[in-house]
Amino acid sequence: MEKVTIALAKGRLAEKTIALFEQARLDVAGLRDESRKLVLENDMFSVLMVKPTDVPVYVEHGVADLGVCGKDTLLESNANLYEMMDLKFGACKLCLAGWPGTDPHRSGIKVATKYEHFARQYFRGRGESIEIIHLSGSVELGPIAGLSDIILDIVESGRTLRENGLTVLEEIVPVSARLCVNRVSLKVKAVQVQMILEKLRRAMEETEI
Ligand code: PRP
């Protein structure tokens, strides 16, 4: 049977993804313990450890048959793939945030974000005209440094906002880790893909008990 390739996100989701795969008895032991390995091979599948925003790219292009990344990453990428499972971990929210009392829907407001496409779509959907400033990280600095009026970003514990005097102005959408599948792989590697999905489903049930 042809092996499948799985793209997993490095960074904040990595540890919990590896823990879920281990619970599912999908062997990813080589990725544990501060490993810097980017590729792992076993008899059943290969794993590529990629930057979160690259997960949908690998899956859409079929270089990876399956991928795990946050819903925020999928919303931003708009990639043509199947979102198959909500893995529940990595829960946070995409929010508008800024100085307390700021009206996030003021016309012409400047919004700093890593989620440029999603932000454009969101404000366009409300018929609001805004200015988007793309940042790659530490987005909270936008309003603090005077680069933007507000930010659109993920809020997990809320600690980064709190420690910088900022607050959530509006919650837009809940986010968690998702398993996504390449559209062709779902058909041509159906047996392998379904087997992995089933193992993950069972592992999630086991951890809920
Ligand atoms: C994310 C996000 C916020 C922070 C939210 O940044 O962009 O800055 O985490 O988490 P909290 O609500 O628990 O404080 P990340 O740590 O991924 O780093 P980045 O700023 O480099 O994107």
Is the pLDDT reported for residue 100 higher than 70?
A: yes
Evaluate: CB of 160 within 6 angstroms of ligand 1.
yes
Average pLDDT over residues 73-88: 97
How far does residue 53's CA lie from ligand 1's centre (Å)?
Answer: 14
Distance 107 CA to ligand 1 centre (A): 27
Rounded average pLDDT over 87-104: 98
Q: Ligand 1 test: best mutation among 156, 159, 172, 175, most atoms within 8 Å of CB?
A: 156
pLDDT for 7 beyond 80: yes
Q: Which residues of 145-180 are buried (b: 16+ CB within 10 A; e: fewer)?
A: eeebbbbbbbbeeeebbeeeebbbbeebeebbbbbb
Taking the centre of ligand 1 as the mean of its atom positions, its distance from the CA of residue 139, in whole angstroms, is 8
Q: Does residue 35 carry a pLDDT above 80?
A: no
* Type of residue numbered 53: T
Nearest in space to 140 (alpha carbons), one of 156, 127, 124: 156
Encode pLDDT of 108-149 as tens digits.
999 999 999 999 999 999 999 999 999 999 999 999 999 999
User: What pLDDT shows up at residue 209?
Assistant: 63
139 touches ligand 1 (CB under 6 Å): yes
C-beta of 159 in contact with ligand 1 (< 6 A): yes
Residue of minimum CA distance from atom 2 in ligand 1: 154
Q: Is 157 in the pocket of ligand 1 (CB under 6 A)?
A: yes
pTM to 2 decimal places: 0.94
Closest C-alpha residue for ligand 1 atom 8: 138
